[in-house]
Chain A
Amino acid sequence: MTTLVRIDKVRKIYKRDAFEVPVLNGITLDVPYGDFLALMGPSGSGKTTLLNLIAGIDRPTGGSITVEQREISNFTESALAGWRARHVGFIFQLYNLIPVLNAFENVELPLLLTKLSKRERRQHVETALNVVALGDRMFHYPRQLSGGQEQRVAIARAIVTDPTIIVADEPTGDLDAKNAQETLDLLQRLNEDFKKTIIMVTHDPKAAQHAKRTLHLEKGLLVEEGAPAAEAARA
């Protein structure tokens, strides 16, 4: 499979007052098109940091990150914002919907940055909400939705621009088992039916089971690569 994301000897050091905290210590990794990768590891292992670097919302201290043959670590802040708008869909643990906007308007947000007309935006939003089976809740506000529904709206927001990569940070971390299962099924469907490349950070081995492959991080290093079945057995 062709490589979509190439991470080469990436290091990340956070500066906290006078202290330097190394989080990633030279990670090298390739993510091919159409992959569904789960990143696992204990708290502080650097998995969210790695996800943020891939998504272009943080910059590495050293090494390089290339997405579709473009070195994103050298982009300016403004260029990175534009790149994220076109290429990355975000799914967060706490959904992070804008509470003053309804489901339709939340999903429409990334499209406001495009040149699409109002009618085209509406078509895209309706399609995305239908994919996550929330076509009938379009005009509900986040407070009027369950946690699972909120996360599905967030997923619709992540896919509405048809991004190259979807990054999900603990997407089931705040959901009950039933809604978590539905969310993971949806992600799996996006990967299998719509060929979306998904990188997911999770603590939950059952969630990781839905990925095509799983990587473990510990103290800022990749320690092993496992198949979903092995993760399930470990759980």
Chain B
Amino acid sequence: MRFAKLVRRNLFRNKLRAILTMMLMAAIFFFVVTMMSILKAFDRYGNAGEGANRIVVQSAVSLATPLPFAHEAKLRLIPGVVDVCKMQWVGAYYKDKKDFFANFAVDHDHMQSVFDDYRVDPKEFEAFKNDRRGVLVGTELMQRFHWKIGDRITLKQQLFPYDPELTIRGIYQHPVNTAALYFHMDYHDEMMGNRGRVGTFWLKIKDPSKMAAISQQIDGMFKNSEDPTETVTEKQFQAGFMEMMGNVKLLFTSVSSSAVFMVILLAAITMSMSARERVTEIAVLKAIGFERRLVLTLMLCEFTLLTLCGGALGIGFAKVAFAFIPMGKVTQGFLAGFFIPNDSMVVSLAVAAGVGLLAGGWPAINATRLSVADGLRRVV
């Protein structure tokens, strides 16, 4: 603590340089923590709620190929399957294409049993069940469009040849998925001409450790049918969506790593300048009795503090900004409920400190390695 003042004063010895470096750090770490949080959000969707005990049965041909309703009865017979719920991605939008969000047709009789991580007021759920055109809406979506229960809404078709005309009967709560909409499978099937086909079956499994075996059993059962299946866990299913966009995780990680590498180089330039212009001062400190190790520690503290302050600024700004930015709206429901998690903040701050140590390490070691006599000779 006795040297804190020296560190602090040196930190701002060139105010413009310090502020510019901090702003650079802030900008980069705003970006880094945002990238990390997006990756976390992807993971959260896959691991949300009780999803660890659900598997998804889809067509082995492609996700766009529907399976017959008839599969459901066979799936129910498999030991270990608690319940089955049909679900269809509808892909409609509200008013304008920019008002897109996730919307599904769901088997309302089995929805609560399979998706037990979704919370709905019992009265509202009852109203939803009793209305063929009833719909359950996520909290964020309700806020986004300023809807209220009882509102009639019409979605515009994209994938299927009808415009769903719906009445909001309830609001669901979910820790992650807060911007989706669920309406009756019956209504969807009727509008589709009672084809009796659906995109996916969601199965709740009694013992999660048996999910792999049950998945194999299901796929084996339909292997030689007209509609073969591919069964995956909920997490794999969500990951599959991500893979549709390419290896997003790799892309985000690469871009973030490049940003951090770039900032290390830029910080190293700043810190080298700072260390070089202080060679004589360092020599003076050593002359009056400061050990090299102490001088090195003080310089590293200063450099680390510089990147840490800048990083904290950017990370803090990201935390506040994303608390106010309606990401569900901005990303059309893709990142609904997005926020900067605390663990991403901690990791980003640690990276910011690491940047200070890495970027400042070499200049500080070089500056303090010079002998006192040589250091004094540089200027005198």
| Bound CA–CA A82/B293 (angstroms) | 12
Complex contacts, A49 vs chain B, CB 8 Å: 373
A110 touches B371 (CB 8 A): no
Does B344 count as interface, using CB distance less than 8 angstroms? no
B289 touches A85 (CB 8 A): yes
B284 touches A81 (CB 8 A): no
Does B191 count as interface, using CB distance less than 8 angstroms? no
| Bound CA–CA A149/B285 (angstroms) | 20
| Bound CA–CA A92/B280 (angstroms) | 11
Q: Contacts A58-B372, A112-B2 given; indicate if A92 touches B289 (C-beta within 8 A).
A: no
| Bound CA–CA A109/B298 (angstroms) | 13
Query: Which single member of B5, B13, B292, B376 contacts A92 (CB below 8 Å)?
Result: B376
Does B245 count as interface, using CB distance less than 8 angstroms? no
A110 touches B288 (CB 8 A): yes
| Bound CA–CA A45/B2 (angstroms) | 41
Most buried by B among A55, A99, A113: A113
A90 touches B284 (CB 8 A): yes
- Considering only residues 18-73 of chain B, those with a C-beta below 8 Å from chain A are none
Closest to A79 in B: B291
Contact digits for B357-380, partner A, Cβ 8 Å, 1 yes 0 no: 000000000000001110010011
Interface of A is mostly: helix
Does B286 count as interface, using CB distance less than 8 angstroms? yes
Contact digits for A91-114, partner B, Cβ 8 Å, 1 yes 0 no: 011101011110001000110110
Does A169 count as interface, using CB distance less than 8 angstroms? yes
B287 touches A55 (CB 8 A): yes
| Bound CA–CA A78/B372 (angstroms) | 13
Q: Contacts A57-B373, A92-B380, A105-B5 given; indicate if A98 touches B286 (C-beta within 8 A).
A: no
| Bound CA–CA A119/B293 (angstroms) | 27
Does A77 count as interface, using CB distance less than 8 angstroms? yes
Does A216 count as interface, using CB distance less than 8 angstroms? no
Most buried by A among B3, B5, B13, B288: B288
B284 touches A57 (CB 8 A): no
B9 touches A100 (CB 8 A): yes
Does A191 count as interface, using CB distance less than 8 angstroms? no
B371 touches A96 (CB 8 A): no
| Bound CA–CA A57/B283 (angstroms) | 9
Does A25 count as interface, using CB distance less than 8 angstroms? no
A98 touches B3 (CB 8 A): no
A113 touches B290 (CB 8 A): yes
A94 touches B6 (CB 8 A): no
Does B297 count as interface, using CB distance less than 8 angstroms? no
| Bound CA–CA A81/B287 (angstroms) | 7
Does B10 count as interface, using CB distance less than 8 angstroms? yes
Does B281 count as interface, using CB distance less than 8 angstroms? yes
| Bound CA–CA A81/B83 (angstroms) | 77
**Nearest Cβ distance between residue B286 and chain A, in whole angstroms?**
7
Complex contacts, A88 vs chain B, CB 8 Å: 287
Closest to A116 in B: B2
**Nearest Cβ distance between residue B233 and chain A, in whole angstroms?**
59
Interface of B is mostly: helix
Query: Which single member of B3, B281, B290, B373 contacts A96 (CB below 8 Å)?
Result: B281
**Nearest Cβ distance between residue B87 and chain A, in whole angstroms?**
65
Q: How many residues of A contact B (CB 8 A)?
A: 29
Complex contacts, A101 vs chain B, CB 8 Å: 5-6, 9
Does A137 count as interface, using CB distance less than 8 angstroms? no
A94 touches B373 (CB 8 A): no
A57 touches B289 (CB 8 A): no
Complex contacts, A100 vs chain B, CB 8 Å: 6, 9-10, 12-13
Complex contacts, A82 vs chain B, CB 8 Å: 289, 291
B6 touches A110 (CB 8 A): no
Q: Contacts A57-B372, A58-B371, A112-B3 given; indicate if A90 touches B13 (C-beta within 8 A).
A: no
B287 touches A57 (CB 8 A): yes
**Nearest Cβ distance between residue B11 and chain A, in whole angstroms?**
9
Complex contacts, B380 vs chain A, CB 8 Å: 92-94, 169
- Considering only residues 325-377 of chain B, those with a C-beta below 8 Å from chain A are 371-373, 376
Closest to A93 in B: B380
Q: Contacts A58-B371, A105-B5 given; indicate if A94 touches B287 (C-beta within 8 A).
A: no
Complex contacts, B371 vs chain A, CB 8 Å: 57-58
Closest to B14 in A: A100
A77 touches B290 (CB 8 A): no
B373 touches A81 (CB 8 A): no
**Nearest Cβ distance between residue A6 and chain B, in whole angstroms?**
21
Does A52 count as interface, using CB distance less than 8 angstroms? yes
User: Interface on A for B, CB 8 Å cutoff?
Assistant: 49, 52, 55, 57-58, 77-78, 81-82, 84-86, 88, 90, 92-94, 96, 98-101, 105, 109-110, 112-113, 157, 169
